[in-house]
Structure 1
Amino acid sequence: MNENANKSGIESLFRLISGSKHCVAFTGAGVSTLSGIRDFRGKNGLYKMPDTEKMFDIDLFYKDPSVYYTLARDFIYDLDEKQPAIVHLVLAKLEKRGMLRSIITQNIDLLHQKAGSKKVIEIHGSPSEHYCPECGYRTTFEKTAPAVRRGEIPECPGCGAVLKPAITFFGESLPARAIEEAMKESEKADLMLVLGSSLVVYPAADLPGITCKNGGKIVIVNDMPTHLDHYAVLHFNDLETVFSSLEKML
Structure 2
Amino acid sequence: MELQCHLKVCKESLKVNERERVEVKTVLPTGGLNASKTQTFRVLWKNNGEAVFHKDCWTSLLKAATARKKYKDLPDLTVEEKVLVKEAAKTAEFFYSMSGMKEEAKRVVEMIRKSEFCVVFTGAGISTSAGIGDYRGKSGKWTEMDQNAVNMDSLFGEESTCTYSTEIGPPTKKAKTDSEQSDDLESDDEEDDGVPYESLRPTYTHEALQKLIEIGHVKHIISQNGDGLHTLSGVSYDKISELHGNVFIEKCGKCGERFERDFYVMDDVCSQYYEELEDYGKTNIIKPKHAKQCELCNLSHRTGRKCSKNGCKGYLIDTIINFRDNLEEEILNQAENISEQCDLMICLGSTLTVTPACDLVEMIKIPQRLVICNRQKTEKDNVCLEKDKKGITLGSRIFGDCDTFMREIMKNIMPSKDLEKWEASRNDRMKIYDTKRNTDIKRIL
Look up the equivalent residue of 2:369 and give its one-letter code.
K
Provide the residue aligned with 1:209 in structure 2: 362
Q: Secondary structure at the match of 2:340?
A: helix
- 1:91 corresponds to 2:209: yes
Question: Quick check: 2:108–2:396 contact (8 Å CA) kept in 1?
Answer: yes
RMSD of the TM alignment (CA)? 3.4
Provide the residue aligned with 2:318 in structure 1: 165
Look up the equivalent residue of 1:226 and give its one-letter code.
T
- 1:22 corresponds to 2:140: no
**TM-score normalised by L of structure 1:** 0.78
- After TM superposition, give the deviation of residue 156 of structure 1 in Å: 3.7
Describe the superposition over 1:26-57 as per-residue Cα deviations: whole angstroms up to 9, x where unpaired: 0000011121111122222233369xx8xxxx
Change (3 A) 1:72 1:215: farther
Distance 1:125 1:146 in 2: 11
**Structure 1 or 2: more helix by fraction:** 1
More divergent stretch after superposition (130-139 vs 39-48): 130-139
Structure 1, unaligned runs of 5 or more: 54-69
Provide the residue aligned with 1:56 in structure 2: none
Change (3 A) 1:44 1:188: same
- After TM superposition, give the deviation of residue 146 of structure 1 in Å: 9.9
Distance 1:211 1:188 in 2: 7
Question: Quick check: 2:243–2:357 contact (8 Å CA) kept in 1?
Answer: yes
Question: Quick check: 2:248–2:265 contact (8 Å CA) kept in 1?
Answer: no
Q: 1:10 is matched with which residue: 91, 97, 105?
A: 105
- After TM superposition, give the deviation of residue 117 of structure 1 in Å: 1.8
Describe the superposition over 1:165-210 as per-residue Cα deviations: whole angstroms up to 9, x where unpaired: 2111112210111111111111111100011100110010111111
Look up the equivalent residue of 2:133 and give its one-letter code.
R
Choose between structure 1 and 2 for higher RCO, CA contacts under 8 A separated by at least 6 residues: 1
Change (3 A) 1:164 1:15: same
Provide the residue aligned with 1:226 in structure 2: 378
Provide the residue aligned with 1:235 in structure 2: 397
Equivalenced residues, count: 227
Describe the superposition over 1:75-124 as per-residue Cα deviations: whole angstroms up to 9, x where unpaired: 3xx22211111111111111001000000000001111111222111011
- After TM superposition, give the deviation of residue 155 of structure 1 in Å: 2.2
- 1:42 corresponds to 2:148: no
Distance 2:212 2:255 in 1: 41
Q: Kindly, what percent of the aligned residue pairs are identical?
A: 30
Question: Quick check: 2:351–2:377 contact (8 Å CA) kept in 1?
Answer: yes
Structure 2, unaligned runs of 5 or more: 1-94, 149-169, 171-188, 273-284, 289-302, 308-313, 385-394, 415-445
- 1:80 corresponds to 2:198: yes
Look up the equivalent residue of 1:246 and give its one-letter code.
I
Question: Quick check: 2:120–2:347 contact (8 Å CA) kept in 1?
Answer: yes
Look up the equivalent residue of 1:21 and give its one-letter code.
E
